[in-house]
Structure 1
Amino acid sequence: MTIEEAKQVRIVDFLALLGHRAQYVKSEQYWYLSPLRAERTPSFKVNDRLNEWYDFAEATGGDLVELGKHLCGTGSVSEALAYIERHANGASLPRIRQPTAPVRPVEAEMKELVVVPLRHHALLSYLHSRMIDADIGRMFCKEVHYELRQRRYFALAFSNISGGYEVRNPYYKGCINSKDISLIPQSRGEVQSRVCLFEGFMDFLSYMTLKQTGDDTICIDVPCDCLVMNSVGNLKKTLAHLQSYAHIHCYLDNDLAGQKTVETIAGLYGERVSNEAGRYADYKDLNDYLRGKKL
């Protein structure tokens, strides 16, 4: 079996062959009790659309070849391929339909990118629709203009530590250049003892808007740095930065992914971690709390 042949095997079907059944399925996300260890709550997720897995407790993931390496306890690709072939031998596993050519991300087709200070009325109106304060938006966001398929577009741009931008408007959500976390210090050149952790930048902007209004139900009245993950897939990068802090305040989503992410962080940093999601328990995330949009 070659690497490409292994990658075409559906991970969900391979796990079923090994006796692992999803505990929870939502929007092509299959949640399992981890096949890598004994556990009582699912922390192992398979994205069936991408045919990729992620283990929140281990903060690692990848394709079926990487899973095979973990399952048979080896760093050898050839051993992993042999393991996959041995267990799939004789089983009629459906293959993932591969496109004839790799699908290019839409960002690869963007041309003439220009990043400027946030001032476009349509983007400020979009922030207003999310109840984000305009001055907060201008302070932490820029706007990016680009050409895509011979048409001009613009969007909010939120920078990360690798020089990339999380990009969003009412019709598009993506990332330009490198995907990474964003770190917003309370004071330049000084690391605080506390950090507030957010999954996406809209939640961070919502927190800053709530803080400006004096909402002590949600906000912490002590100096804190802020870290935005920009995706739970950035958990491994996040963990490395969190080690600098004595207190970690997690403002993640009230869903399974948010819960498992907090559990993973707490498993590493113990009592230093506070799960603040209970402050907005009736809402999916901080922006829904700000807008009064309950679950």
Structure 2
Amino acid sequence: MTIAEAKQLCIVDYLASLGHHPQYVKSNQYWYLSPLREERTPSFKVNDRLNEWYDFGAATGGDMVELGKHLYRTENVSEVLAHIERYVNTTAIPGIRGTVVAPRAVETKMQHITVVPLRHHALLSYLHSRRIDGEIGRMFCKEVHYELRKRRYFALAFGNVAGGYEVRNPYYKGCIQGKDISLVKHSRDGTQDRICVFEGFMDFLSYLTLKQTGNEEVCINAPCDYLVMNSVNNLKKALVRLQAYPIIHCYLDNDLAGQKTTETIAGMYGLRVHDEAHRYTEYKDLNDYLRGKKR
């Protein structure tokens, strides 16, 4: 079995063949009691559309090969492949997935990518539709233009620490030039005592818009640095950065993934962590709160 063949095996089916079944399923997200350790509430998530897993309790995840490393307690890829092939050949597990959705496949086909200051009226209108202040959008976002299948497109671009960009418009959400967290410092002179953590940059921009209006129901009345995860799969990277902060404010989504992410951060940093999601408990996330869109 090759690495490519192993990655095409459906993780949900493979876990089922090992006797692990989801406790909760919603929108292609399968939640399990972790097969890697003992626990009482599910914190192991499989995204069946991307065929990727993430264990919030261990702050790690990946594809089928990475799962095999943890299941079979080895870093030797050849051993992992041998274990997987042996199990596939001796059980009734379904075969290789007929169609595999490769993460960020569209981005690999983009050509003639240019990043410029944000000024396109359609993108500013999109921010306005999300109730985000245009000047705040201009301050923290750029616009990216690219060619895909011989057609030209444009979108918002929000930079990350790896030099890549989170890309968003009303019809598309992705990343170019490398996925990573984003870190925004309050001051160039050093690190603040407090940091606010967001899952996506729309929530970060929503927070700044709320803060600009003097909203104290949600916002912290103190200087803060800001960390945007850009994906829960970046949690491990985020945990490293959060180590420097005495006070950590988590503004994550009011859903199971947001809850588990906050629990993981709190498990690492204890009383330093404040779960601020209760400030907008009737809303899925900060942008829905800003728009007045209740669940």
TM-score, scaled relative to structure 1: 0.94
The amino acid that maps onto 2:292 is: G
Equivalent position of 1:118 in the other structure: 118
Structure 1 residues 18 and 134: CA distance shift in structure 2, 3 A: same
Residues 267 and 101 of structure 1: CA distance in aligned 2, closer, same or farther (over 3 Å): closer
Change in 2 beyond 3 A, CA 1:85/1:100? closer
Question: Given that residues 115 and 145 in structure 2 are in contact (C-alpha distance below 8 angstroms), is that contact kept between their aligned partners in structure 1?
Answer: yes
Letter in structure 2 aligned against 1:181 = I
Match of 2:18 in 1: 18
For the pair 1:241 / 2:238, whether they are aligned, the reply is no
> How many angstroms apart in 2 are the aligned matches of 1:8 and 1:16?
16
Percentage of identical aligned residues = 73
Deviations 1:90-135 (A, max 9, x none): 3221123356997982222222222221111111111110000111
How far apart, CA to CA, are the structure 2 residues paired with 1:53 and 1:191?
33
CA apart distance, 1:163: 1.1
Q: Distance in 1 between matches of 2:105 and 2:77?
A: 27
Does structure 1 conserve the Cα–Cα contact (< 8 Å) formed by 2:17 and 2:92? no
**For residue 153 of structure 1, what is the aligned residue in structure 2?**
153
Other structure's SS at 2:154 match: strand
- Contact residue 199 and residue 231 of structure 1 kept, 8 A: yes
Deviation per residue, 1:62-111 (Å, 9 max, x gap)? 22232222122222223333433444443221123356997982222222
1:44: Cα distance to partner?
0.5
Distance 1:20 1:125, change over 3 A: same
Question: Does the CA-based 8 Å contact 2:161-2:182 persist in structure 1?
Answer: yes
Structure 2 runs not aligned, ≥5 long: none
Residue 170 of structure 1 corresponds to 170
Q: Does 1:291 align with 2:294?
A: no
2:147 maps to a residue whose letter is E
Question: How big is the shift at 1:190?
Answer: 1.1
Alpha carbons of structure 1 residues 249 and 148: separation in structure 2 relative to 1, 3 Å: same
Which runs of structure 1 show a deviation greater than 4 angstroms over 4 or more consecutive aligned residues? 98-104
Work out whether residues 23 and 33 of structure 1, in 8 Å CA contact, stay in contact via their aligned partners in 2.
yes
Residues 1-295 of structure 1 correspond to what in structure 2 (within 5 A)? 1-98=1-98, 105-295=105-295
One-letter identity of the residue aligned with 1:79: E
- Relative to structure 1, the CA distance from residue 102 to residue 224 in structure 2 (aligned partners, 3 Å threshold; closer, same or farther) is closer
AA of the residue aligned to 2:77:
V
> 2-side partners of 1:103 and 1:264: how far apart?
24
The SS at the match of 1:97 is coil
TM-score normalised per structure 2:
0.94
**In the alignment, is the contact (CA less than 8 A) between 2:9 and 2:97 conserved in 1?**
no
Equivalent residue pairs, number: 295
Secondary structure at 2:214's aligned position in 1?
coil
User: Structure 2 CA distance, aligned partners of 1:111 and 1:9?
Assistant: 31
Structure 1 residue 261: Cα displacement: 0.5
